[in-house]
Structure 1
Amino acid sequence: MKKVLGMSLCAFAAACLLSVPSVRAENIKVGALLAVTGPASFLGGPEARTMEMLVEQVNAKGGINGNKVELLVKDTAGNPEKAISLAKQLLEEDNVLAVLGPSSSGETMSVKKIFEDAKTPLISCAAAEVIVNPLASWVFKTPQNDSFAAVKIFMEMNKLGIEKIAVLVDNSGFGKAGKEQLLKIAPDYKIEVVEAEVYDAKATDLSAVVAKIKANPAVQGVINWSIVPAQSIVVKNIRQAGWQVPIFQSHGFGNIKYVEAAGAAAE
Structure 2
Amino acid sequence: MKKRALISAAISLMATCTLPVLAQARDPIRVGAVLSTTGPAAYLGDPQLKTLQVYIARINEEGGVLGRKLELVHYDDASEAAKANGFARRLIEDDKVDFLIAGTTTGATMAMAPLVDKAGIPLISLSGAVVVVEPVKKWIFKTPHTDRMAAEKVFEDMKKRGFKRVALLSETSGFGQSGAKETRAVALKYGIALVADETYGPKDTDVTAQLAKIRAVPDLQAVFVFGLGQGPAVVTKNYAQLGIQLPLYQSHGVASNEFIKLAGKASEGVRLPSPALLVANALAANDPQRPLVTSYAATYWKQYKEEPSTFGGYALDALTIGVAAIKRAGGTNKEAVRTALEQTKGFMGTTGQFNMSATDHMGLDLSAFRMLEVKDGGWVLSK
Task: Please state which band the TM-score falls in when normalised by the shorter chain.
Answer: 0.7 to 0.9
Cα separation, 2, equivalents of 1:248 and 1:42: 20
Cα separation, 1, equivalents of 2:35 and 2:199: 25
Deviations 1:40-93 (A, max 9, x none): 221221111111112212222232233222110111111111110000001111
2:173 is aligned with 1:169? no
Cα separation, 1, equivalents of 2:100 and 2:212: 43
Instruction: Quote the residue 1:70 is aligned against.
Output: 71
Decide whether the 8 Å contact of 1:170 with 1:228 is kept in 2.
no
Instruction: Quote the residue 1:34 is aligned against.
Output: 35
C-alpha displacement of 1:190 = 1.2
Instruction: Quote the residue 2:127 is aligned against.
Output: 126
Instruction: Quote the residue 1:235 is aligned against.
Output: 236
Cα separation, 2, equivalents of 1:246 and 1:200: 22
Instruction: Quote the residue 2:118 is aligned against.
Output: 117
Other structure's SS at 1:84 match: helix
Decide whether the 8 Å contact of 1:194 with 1:218 is kept in 2.
no
State the Cα RMSD in Å.
Answer: 1.5
Other structure's SS at 1:242 match: coil
C-alpha displacement of 1:263 = 2.1
TM-score (norm 1): 0.88
Instruction: Quote the residue 1:262 is aligned against.
Output: 263
Cα separation, 1, equivalents of 2:236 and 2:37: 26
Cα separation, 2, equivalents of 1:213 and 1:222: 8
Q: Given residue 266 of structure 2, which amino acid in structure 1 is its aligned partner?
A: A
Cα separation, 2, equivalents of 1:56 and 1:223: 40
TM-score (norm 2): 0.62
Decide whether the 8 Å contact of 2:167 with 2:220 is kept in 1.
yes
Q: Which runs of 5+ in 1 are unaligned?
A: 1-21
Q: Which runs of 5+ in 2 are unaligned?
A: 1-22, 269-383
In the alignment of these two chains, the number of paired residues is 246
Structure of larger gyration radius = 2
Instruction: Quote the residue 2:220 is aligned against.
Output: 219
C-alpha displacement of 1:23 = 6.2
Cα separation, 1, equivalents of 2:45 and 2:236: 24
Residue correspondence of structure 1 range 1-267 to structure 2 within 5 A? 24-267=25-268
Cα separation, 1, equivalents of 2:66 and 2:258: 41
Q: Given residue 49 of structure 1, which amino acid in structure 2 is its aligned partner?
A: K
C-alpha displacement of 1:115 = 0.6
CA distance 1:55–1:204, shift in 2 (3 Å): same
Q: Quick check: 178-187 or 234-243, which moved more?
A: 234-243
Decide whether the 8 Å contact of 2:168 with 2:224 is kept in 1.
yes
Other structure's SS at 2:87 match: helix
Instruction: Quote the residue 1:17 is aligned against.
Output: none
Cα separation, 1, equivalents of 2:238 and 2:78: 28
Decide whether the 8 Å contact of 1:164 with 1:221 is kept in 2.
yes
Cα separation, 2, equivalents of 1:232 and 1:28: 39
Instruction: Quote the residue 1:10 is aligned against.
Output: none
Cα separation, 2, equivalents of 1:242 and 1:252: 24
Deviations 1:107-137 (A, max 9, x none): 1111112111211001011111110010111
Cα separation, 1, equivalents of 2:187 and 2:246: 18
Other structure's SS at 2:124 match: strand
Cα separation, 2, equivalents of 1:37 and 1:236: 22
Decide whether the 8 Å contact of 2:25 with 2:67 is kept in 1.
no
Decide whether the 8 Å contact of 1:169 with 1:225 is kept in 2.
yes
Other structure's SS at 1:24 match: helix
Other structure's SS at 1:88 match: helix
Cα separation, 1, equivalents of 2:219 and 2:119: 50
Cα separation, 1, equivalents of 2:65 and 2:192: 52
The runs of at least 4 consecutive aligned structure 1 residues that moved more than 3 Å come to: 22-25
Other structure's SS at 2:89 match: helix
